[in-house]
C-alpha cells in the first residue's frame, strides 16, 4: 500500500511538472527533467540508506550525482579518468593502445583452435567467442580485445 501511494504521488508530481513545462523550449525541459530525476533519486537514496540497503543506496546516489552534477561521482571514477582508458573528453584515443604482439601459437590457443585451421574455422571460432565475451553482453573489454587480436594475427591483418 505505501508503494502504491508513493507511485500516485510521484505520478501527480510528474503531471504537475509536465503542465508547468508546456510551451518551454527543449533545453529547459531537459534540464528540468534531469534536475527532477536527480532529486527523486536523491530521495530514494536516503530512503534506501535508512532501510539498510546500502548497496542500492550507492547505486542510486551515483545516478543522482550524475544527473545533478553531470559527471561520474568520485567513488566511481577510475585511474583512467572519467572517460575510460586511453580516451579523451571528445571520445578519441589520447594515445595508441599499449599491447604486445600476440604470437600465432597464443592466438590459436585463445580461439581454441589447432595449427592448420582454415579461415572459416578462425572466423567461426572468433564469432562464437566474441558473442559470449563482448562488453555489450556483459563481458570484458580485455577479453574481447584479445579475441579480436587473435583473429587478426591468424588472418594476418
- pLDDT tens for 97-110 read 555 688 888 988 98
Q: In sequence order, which ranges of 23-118 are alpha helices (DSSP H)?
A: 26-50, 54-69, 104-111
81 within some domain: no
Q: What's the pLDDT band for 96 if we cut at 50, 70, 90? A: very low
* 11-44: burial string, b at 16+ Cβ within 10 Å, e else: eeeeeeeeeeeeeeeeeeeeeeeeeeebebbbeb
- pLDDT tens for 63-77 read 888 888 887 777 766
20 within some domain: yes
pTM above 0.85, yes or no: no
Instruction: Looking at the structure, tell me whether residues 69 and 6 fall in a common domain.
Output: yes
The CATH number for 113's domain is: 1.10.287.110
CB-neighbour burial class of residue 64 (10 A; exposed 0-12, middle 13-18, buried 19+): buried
- Using the predicted structure, report yes or no on whether residue 151 has a pLDDT greater than 60: yes
112 within some domain: yes
Instruction: Looking at the structure, tell me whether residues 68 and 127 fall in a common domain.
Output: no
* Domain containing residue 149: 104-154
Structure confidence at residue 6 (pLDDT): 81
Lowest mean pLDDT among 35-39, 43-47, 50-54: 35-39
Structure confidence at residue 78 (pLDDT): 63
Structure confidence at residue 98 (pLDDT): 52
Structure confidence at residue 123 (pLDDT): 92
Instruction: Looking at the structure, tell me whether residues 65 and 116 fall in a common domain.
Output: no
Structure confidence at residue 56 (pLDDT): 85
Instruction: Looking at the structure, tell me whether residues 6 and 69 fall in a common domain.
Output: yes
Total domains in the chain come to 2
Cell, residue 22? 508546456
92 within some domain: no
Amino acid at each position: 500500500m505505501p508503494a502504491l501511494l508513493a507511485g500516485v504521488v510521484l505520478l501527480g508530481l510528474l503531471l504537475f511538472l509536465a503542465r508547468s513545462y508546456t510551451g518551454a523550449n527543449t533545453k529547459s525541459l531537459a534540464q528540468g527533467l534531469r534536475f527532477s530525476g536527480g532529486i527523486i533519486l536523491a530521495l530514494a537514496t536516503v530512503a534506501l540508506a535508512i532501510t539498510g540497503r546500502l548497496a542500492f543506496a550507492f547505486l542510486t546516489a551515483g545516478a543522482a550525482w550524475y544527473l545533478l552534477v553531470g559527471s561520474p561521482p568520485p567513488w566511481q571514477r577510475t585511474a583512467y579518468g572519467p572517460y575510460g582508458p586511453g580516451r579523451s573528453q571528445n571520445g578519441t584515443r589520447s594515445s595508441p593502445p599499449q599491447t604486445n604482439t600476440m604470437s600465432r601459437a597464443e592466438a590459436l590457443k585463445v580461439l581454441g583452435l589447432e595449427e592448420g585451421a582454415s579461415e572459416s574455422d578462425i572466423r567461426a571460432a572468433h564469432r562464437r567467442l566474441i558473442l559470449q565475451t563482448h562488453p555489450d553482453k556483459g563481458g570484458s573489454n580485455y577479453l574481447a580485445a584479445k579475441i579480436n587480436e587473435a583473429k587478426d594475427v591468424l588472418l594476418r591483418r
